[in-house]
Structure 1
Amino acid sequence: MSASPGAPDAAAQISGLIFAVLLVNEADCIIEANPAAEELLGRSAGKLTTMELGEAIVIDDERLRESLTKRDAQMIVRGIAISTGQGGRRVNITSSPMHSHPGWRVVTLSELGQEGNDGDDEERVELRAPAVLAHEIKNPLSAIRGASQLIARRASERDRPLATMIEGEVDRIAQLIDRMQQLGSRSSVQTGPCNLHEAIRNAMATVRAGRDDGCELVEEFDPSLPPVEADQGALEQVLINLLANACDACSNVEDARVSVRTRFVSGLVFSAIRLGKATRLPIEITVTDPGPGLPSHLRDHAFEPFVSGKPHGQGLGLALVRKLLRDMGGRIAHERDERAGLTHFRINLAVADRKPS
């Protein structure tokens, strides 16, 4: 089938793809890289074309690393952890040999959830199941709470604390269930122009008001940033969660300072799928703390439900953070800098189409 007059050529089509494409020769050298590859791997096309594939994409799993060196075999791998010039990523990788050029192949990479909604839908199914269960639990919980209040009024002075404890535990479980339902919610988020620094300062004020541990919250703002596309209430909830976690993480660090940095990411622009189209996410918020970070075995699972590095953590906070940001068309990533002893949580958001009214 021939291209219609004026249709973009193959190079233009590949440049427009939202997933990374690398052309690799028989010596495993990268010959061409599209813009999405530059974004994902954190290096310019000029730099990538001076590297071998194994230098640009570092895979810890030895078996998978060996599979990627097989030039004449097709390969599809999902959810693999890699290291790039932009830090750690979890990606899907394909390797397709070019039979017209023996030894040559096309390698594609896409971050989880980028190739449509399959991964996201699967995650939502997993989250909706506990949400449905939570709904069924709340009715008997209300009955138990009411009964405990009735018992407290009729109980002796000696037994009243027991009834009060039952009521308190019911309230704690109800709060946990509310968060589970938030994770499973499919309600849409209404976004609009949002003053980024106002949202951050509101979140900082809330966290400061609720703590007395002396953890210092530091602003490192770029005042020239434009409004972002977000729901301000949801964004503040995200930031409160990240700031509170950061303060908890460095509770044993003397003179702890948690910094919040904002910047426009020039030369490195992420893409996410929102409403069926690619969206550029150049506004970055980084929350940094000097705590010990998550245990190494949990770092690849930081945003999964019911995963927590805290002794009594529920593992819902970061999962909810990721859901809220995805609903706003944004993204979040976690990075540990062992050399500096710092943990970074990076949020990326889109620039608003219009100024706030």
Structure 2
Amino acid sequence: LTRLGQQVDVIAEGDFDTHISVATHDEVAVLGDGVDRMSSQLQQMWASLNRTQGEKLLHQIAGGLAHQLRNSLTGARMAVELHHKNCNSPSDEFLDVALAQLEQTDDSVRRLLLVAAGKQDDDHPGLITVAIDDVRNSVSPTAKHLHVDLVWHVDDQLADQTVVDSPSLTAALSNLVLNAMQAAKQVTVRATCINNDHLHIAIIDDGPGPPSEIADELFEPFVTSKPEGLGLGLPLVARAATRLGGEVKWDRIDRDGHNGPQTRFELTAKIIADNPNPKQ
């Protein structure tokens, strides 16, 4: 009974990861089992409460960031468009990429504003290959700047295949690829069709991977190992994966025993039957 009382005191102080073993088979043992069950239930409730509070704070931060970013993006896009018009060169690939990236970011900011308001944008079905090409074109200048060897492998079976919300796929894939490029010098993206009804994308890099102390909570809001990071990118990736009818996960894999292990993030999405742009 003294040990049970001490355990209850520990639980009352907020340490729910406790367990006590009672050797007897009497009422004291039944009471001990009840205390263990209570501790486990409180631990689950506490984790749920933290997630709820984190989501509320995420909405508030998303709203504040989105309002500031949208004002900055408007000015940046106008400046780039004016430069594009006044430029003597009839075609400038990097300006076109910059404009496309600004437009994508503006759409992402608009969606963040909806998240902050507790709403969700309407689905915008789109071709998988178009979304992948958009990400590839947008991150290529960054890869060149960082001297990252970025390689893409896209399954031919994905041609004319569609996901329920193309902007969600673009945002999730872009985030994962940019994260990989910031941590590694070799990044490989493999997009394949699974059983004709699911998209599977693996982003594999030769970086060290997330620190072990945050590995289990990587997709929770505000969990980050970057000093300048907010821990918002991967939770938004997880949110996008859920919207796409899939999931996101990560692990460390061996590379045939050569040059050490690699980090792999896997994103899946459900392929839908309807093609919104058959001629595209």
Q: TM-score, normalised by structure 2?
A: 0.57
The equivalent residue for 2:161 is 227
- The one-letter code sitting in structure 2 at the alignment partner of 1:351 is I
The correspondence for 1:353, drawn from 269, 273, 278, is 273
Offset, 1:324: 2.2
Aligned to 1:342: 262
Find 1:325's aligned residue among 237, 241, 252.
241
Higher relative contact order (CA 8 A, sep 6+): 2
Quick one: structure 1 residues 332 and 182, their matched pair in 2 at CA, closer, same or farther if it must change by over 3 Å? farther
Q: Which runs of 4+ in 1 moved over 6 A?
A: 73-78, 136-139
Q: 1:133 Cα shift?
A: 6.9
Change (3 A) 1:356 1:307: same
RMSD: 4.1
**Aligned-residue identity in percent:** 25
The count of residues paired between Structure 1 and Structure 2 equals 199
Q: 1:293 to 1:187 in 2, by over 3 A?
A: same
Amino acid at match of 1:300: D
Q: Classify the secondary structure of the residue corresponding to 1:218.
A: strand
Q: Deviations over 1:138-194 (max 9, x none)?
A: 99x9xxxxxxxxxxxxxxxxxxxxxxxxxxxxxxxxxxxx79866655322433542
| Structure that is richer in helix per residue | 2
Are residues 282 and 124 of structure 1, via their aligned partners in 2, closer, same or farther at CA, if it must alter by over 3 Å? farther
Question: Which residue matches 1:306?
Answer: 222
Alpha carbons 1:261, 1:286 under 8 Å: kept: yes
Secondary structure at 1:199's aligned position in 2?
helix
Aligned equivalent of 1:197, options 126, 129, 133: 129
Unpaired stretches in structure 2, ≥5 consecutive residues? 1-17, 22-32, 69-108
Deviation at 1:221, TM superposition (A): 1.6
Give the Å deviation of 1:209: 2.2
Give the Cα separation in 2 of the matches to 1:180 and 1:316.
11
- Residue in structure 1 matching 2:182, options 236, 240, 248: 248
Contact kept? 2:126, 2:166, Cα under 8 Å: yes
The equivalent of 2:213 in structure 1 is: 297
Structure with higher strand content? 1
Whether the 8 Å CA contact 1:183–1:320 is kept in 2: the answer is no
TM-score (norm 1): 0.46
1:156-235 paired onto structure 2 within 5 Å: 184-211=116-143, 212-225=145-158, 227-235=161-169
Q: Distance in 2 between matches of 1:239 and 1:138?
A: 20
Write out per-residue CA displacement over residues 184-234 of structure 1, whole angstroms, 9 at most, x where no aligned residue. 553224335422122112112111223502212211221113523232222
Deviation at 1:346, TM superposition (A): 0.7
Q: 1:281 to 1:304 in 2, by over 3 A?
A: farther
